[in-house]
Structure 1
Amino acid sequence: MSTSDSDTIATTDSTVTPVENTNRKQPFPRGFLETITSGWAERPELTPDPRAQAAYTAARRAAVSAAFPGRRLVLPAGGYKQRSNDTDYPFRAHSAFTHLTGWASDSVPDSVLVFDPRADGSGHDVTLYLRERADRTSAEFYGDATIGEFWIGPRPALAGVASDLAIATAHLDHFVAGDSDVLLDDDDELTRFVSELRLIKDDYEIEQIRLAVEITARGFDDIIADLPRIVQTPRGERAVEGLFHHRARVEGNGEGYDTIAASGPHACYLHWTRNDGAVVPGDLILIDAGVEVDSLYTADITRTIPVNGTFSPIQRKIYETVREAADAAFAAARPGVKFRTIHEAAMRVIAERVAEWGLLPVTAEDALDADNGGQHRRYMVHGTSHHLGLDVHDCAQARREMYYDGILEPGMVFTIEPGLYFQIDDLTVPEEYRGIGVRIEDDILMTADGPVNLSAEIPRTADEVEAWVAGRIVTS
């Protein structure tokens, strides 16, 4: 960044709180202080119509209110988090705050959503407290690099936010914490409830996840089209990451999580995000990436691609086994069955195939024994599915009986993502398997008629992937 608060903010105006570290500060001259607050055009106070999700967020707030009668609930958006010294990470509001307000990528740090119980016991008055935009006659306007509009651009006004979100607003200065407040992330009951509230997605949420998947698909196409240049880049994994980031920022808010661009043996490390390796013809590259759209809903998709466009026989065998496991999991997903059935179906395929290949010291049935088995999990240690939405691992604070042991219902959105990973130094597998990692991950919507693969248009079979690479590579 070209400037920071330590570059220029020092002033003789006593209304600006001095900063302790002044070694780089230049005082504002009196002439600046006398003229900076005048000569500005009038700013229109916009009061837009409520955004599309306002009716949905009102229904969500009503559900929260009904679940906590007579209790004052406080749900902060959160604030900036320090990256280093005087720089912060980009702000992202708490997912529960966004879910209940509809305020997403445009939300303001330090805002607080408050449910005040009515005296007559008829529910709650809900107020969104936020820092009102500062008048240009105030020192905050030019003297505060964190929130001053001279530095960060226009901030929303209370009336505009109230109209936009269809919710009452008040200045943050008027918020007073109470001793009996039920505070999000401090109170287990509230934290659990707002997490479980997101298990079933409404029409708006489903639409946003579909959009995230569509943009993610274009991000994968960008990578495939540029494979020749990626191969020529010493840290080709970074080139993959950068291409996806460009698409995510141009069409969305960014990535929903750190992109995994894992080529060759790196694909066997489940959360490889260093992305500092070469992309070498003959290897596979595992790309796990998802675009987060402006509403903050995200996709989460993985494809494993042969860098030179063609799977070797052993790569194809492993890849198609993973696809078989994914297809079995998809077939098992039906309304009314337990969520864990998805994982069990995928793991049966994995156990049977690695047993056939002679990689297990026991039979597949022995490995699948819930108490004494698990030998096959050496090659797939992670779960097969997780809920998806505002968080890539959505509804994470839900109770086990509502999540892993819960029942699949229409409106749920989740991943199916089996894999096989044979690490480069794993002596339990033949040498030809070592260094091969494969994962296939799709985003699934459960409907009354069964599951729908939202990411099915992104090539999945080995033949489709080879044709994808052959058809999209740009040569120049």
Structure 2
Amino acid sequence: MQLSDRPTVSDSLADTLRQRRQRLAFPGSAVLWSGRSSSRNFAANTYPFRASSHFLYFAGLPLPNAAIRLEAGRLELFMDDPTPTDILWHGDSPRRDQIAAEIGADAAYPLSRLKAFAEGAATLPVIDAATRLQQSQLLDRMLTPSTMLQGIDRELAEAIIQLRLSHDDLAIREIRRAAAITVAAHEAGMAATLPAKTEAEVRAAMEQVIMAHNTTCAYTSIVTVHGEVLHNEHYHHPIQVGDLLLADLGAEAPSGWASDVTRTWPVSGRFSSTQRDIYDVVLAAHDQCIQAARPGVEYRDLHLLAASIIAAGLVDLGILRGSVEALVEMDAHALFFPHGVGHLLGLDVHDMEDLGDLAGYAAGRTRSERFGLGYLRLDRPLQVDMAVTIEPGFYQVPAILNDSERREEYKDVVNWERLAQFSDVRGIRIEDDVLITEVGSEVLTAALPTEATKIEQLVQNAST
């Protein structure tokens, strides 16, 4: 990491990091590793490095091949200074003592000294296997993926979760920064759509904005006319008049804090009547869920609210039959809205999901086996300074709608002939980043319109 590549943060970084570790309610010592880059095909050709988010939360800087030890509010940094070979190939970079001063470490040592300090420490396994093996060897116990944490490691995870569920001022500022860049990227994508021939051209216009701000994508961008594929990562499809383009793309600040936004717009610059009808149903669910979000509200209830609004809208359009309450109870809405209404947002776009459901689900809660609730990523009450996404959607997924068992189960409540009239709607999702405040919520990505007419204007403005 060259001096010029360092993430830009405020002078309060050391103070913020000190406050985080002092608030960590864990009685013992903990060692957290940053991880290392993995090779694409040969050793020197690596994927971009991304530090473990748990390390990053307390260390503040994306330091490769480093570790920190936390105990009683103290932080000790373990990393090696750059070698002459490192400097030759990658340029000069800060020394261990410089970094220790910047992050407010209480002591700093070479990485070789870590073993002498790590006995009896708790940890969280990193994702990359090479570092996880190193962790296991140094701590003299086999570490499995984070979803199988036991003993002191699980206690550490639970303590970190409680700390990270609500964001401090520095974190919120960085999320705002990522959100602002994400808004600009989506505007660029809409402006690039009319002259574009393929999804790849729109993706390029959006990611160019992110790169120009010296940030990265928080996840693999979804830019597709096949919005029914929830995580589409292919960009070769042509975009044609009559198509809807779904773009789910977010920036990650150099500090690691993420944004996550989805918009769906007509390639021609104007929704068809059927597309507009479905779009307005999804938008109503989006708006009412955000309006209902406030401290103490159960996120599961927001999901069920979205389900009810979508079911009601589809009844009004003649696609579903029956009472809204009964339709949601039998999960008929999930034929078209199979995923959860959103997730935690923070240092990861799906924050702390490396810990499985430990972060997303409150103590004592487990995932439902219901069709309409099984993909709910967050099931706990909202709290002040928590960041979440709100992202209802409507999809015509062939694997769901053409499944013979489901067609039989829902034959009396789905008007398949009427649904066929909406064949030009493959998928619509509307997603914003929402910060829970003391009195309600704030949409951090509100600068990007959601109303259909304003979306149309942003696309059409490219030709004027």
Return the alpha-carbon distance in structure 1 between the equivalents of residues 12 and 182 of structure 2.
23
CA contact (8 A) 2:23 2:73 kept: no
The equivalent residue for 1:72 is 29
The aligned amino acid for 2:433 is: D
Alignment match of 2:92 (pick from 120, 132, 154): 154
Which structure exhibits the higher relative contact order, with contacts defined as CA atoms closer than 8 Å and separated by 6 or more residues?
Answer: 2
- Deviation sequence 1:294-316 (CA, Å, 0-9, x none): 11111100000111100000000
Counterpart position of 2:75: 126
Change (3 A) 1:474 1:151: farther
Matched, 1:376 2:333: yes
- What does residue 419 of structure 2 align with? 430
- 8 A contact 2:67–2:78 mirrored in 1: yes
1:226 aligns with 2:226: no
- Structure 2 CA distance, aligned partners of 1:54 and 1:125? 12
Distance across 1 between alignment mates of 2:289 and 2:394 = 15
Aligned equivalent of 1:95: 53
- 2:160 is equivalent to residue 205 of structure 1: no
Aligned-pair CA distance for 1:73: 1.0
Q: TM-score normalized by structure 1?
A: 0.78
Structure 2 residue aligned with 1:299? 259
SS in 2 for 1:149: helix
- Out of 259, 280, 299, the position equivalent to 1:320 is 280
Would you say the 8 A contact 1:252–1:291 is kept in 2? no
Judged with a 3 Å threshold, the aligned counterparts in structure 2 of structure 1 residues 51 and 83 are, in CA distance, closer, same or farther, namely farther
Q: What percentage of residue pairs aligned between the two structures are identical? A: 32
Larger Rg: 1
Written as runs of structure 1 = structure 2, the 5 A alignment for 1:55-454 is 55-64=15-24, 67-69=25-27, 71-86=28-43, 87-103=45-61, 107-115=62-70, 117=71, 123=72, 125-134=74-83, 141-142=84-85, 148-167=86-105, 168-176=107-115, 178-185=118-125, 186=143, 187-231=153-197, 236-263=198-225, 266-360=226-320, 362-369=322-329, 373-396=330-353, 397=355, 398=359, 400-401=361-362, 404-423=378-397, 426=401, 428=416, 430-436=419-425, 437-454=427-444
Identify if the C-alpha distance between structure 1 residues 399 and 313 changes in structure 2 by more than 3 Å, giving closer, same or farther.
closer
Tell me if the contact between 2:81 and 2:96 (Cα under 8 Å) persists in the aligned partners. Answer: yes
Give 1:469 shift.
Answer: 1.6
**TM-superposed deviation, 1:284:** 0.6
1:341 deviates by 2.0
Q: Which amino acid aligns with 2:81?
A: E
What is the TM-score with the length of structure 2 in the denominator?
Answer: 0.80
CA–CA distance in structure 2, aligned partners of residues 443 and 61 of structure 1? 26
CA contact (8 A) 2:436 2:442 kept: yes
The answer to whether the 8 Å contact 1:196/1:395 transfers is: no
Per-residue displacement from partner, 1:119-158 (whole Å, max 9, x unpaired)?
xxxx254211112122xxxxxx23xxxxx22112223201
Q: Is the 8 A contact 1:300 1:442 kept in 2?
A: yes
Q: C-alpha separation between the residues in 2 aligned to 1:245 and 1:49?
A: 23
Match of 2:89, SS state, is helix
* Distance in 1 between residues matched to 2:191 and 2:319, nearest whole Å: 37
1:329-381 Cα distance to aligned partner (Å, 9 max, x none): 11221222212222121111011222333434654221222xxx112101111
| 1:114, distance to aligned residue in structure 2 (A) | 0.9
Corresponding position of 2:129:
none
Relative to its length, the structure with more helix (as a share) is: 2
- Is 1:465 the equivalent of 2:455? yes
Summarize the Cα distance change of 1:124–1:321 in structure 2 as closer, same or farther, 3 Å threshold: closer
Please tell me whether the aligned partners of residues 322 and 420 of structure 1 are also in contact (alpha carbons under 8 angstroms).
yes
Once the two structures are TM-superposed, the CA of residue 395 in structure 1 deviates from its matched residue by 3.2
- Match of 1:209, as an amino acid? I
Aligned residues: 397
RMSD of aligned Cα (Å) = 2.3
Q: Distance in 2 between matches of 1:49 and 1:445?
A: 21
1:435 positional shift: 5.0
| 2:395 aligned counterpart, secondary structure | strand
Report the AA paired with residue 82 of structure 2.
R
Q: 2:344 touches 2:378 (CA, 8 Å); kept in 1?
A: no
Q: Which runs of 5+ in 1 are unaligned?
A: 1-42, 118-122, 135-140, 143-147
Q: CA deviation at 1:50?
A: 7.8
Higher mean C-alpha displacement, 359-368 vs 375-384? 359-368
Q: Which runs of 5+ in 2 are unaligned?
A: 126-142, 144-152, 364-376, 403-415
Moved more, 395-404 or 374-383: 395-404
* One-letter code aligned to 1:98: L
The one-letter code sitting in structure 1 at the alignment partner of 2:182 is T
Residues 342 and 385 in structure 1, CA contact (< 8 A), matched pair in contact too: no
Q: Residue 267 of structure 1 aligns to which amino acid in structure 2?
A: G
TM-aligned CA deviation for residue 424 of structure 1: 5.8
- Does the CA-based 8 Å contact 1:302-1:440 persist in structure 2? yes
Task: Supply the distance in 2 between the matched residues of 1:300 and 1:399 (Cα, whole angstroms).
Answer: 17
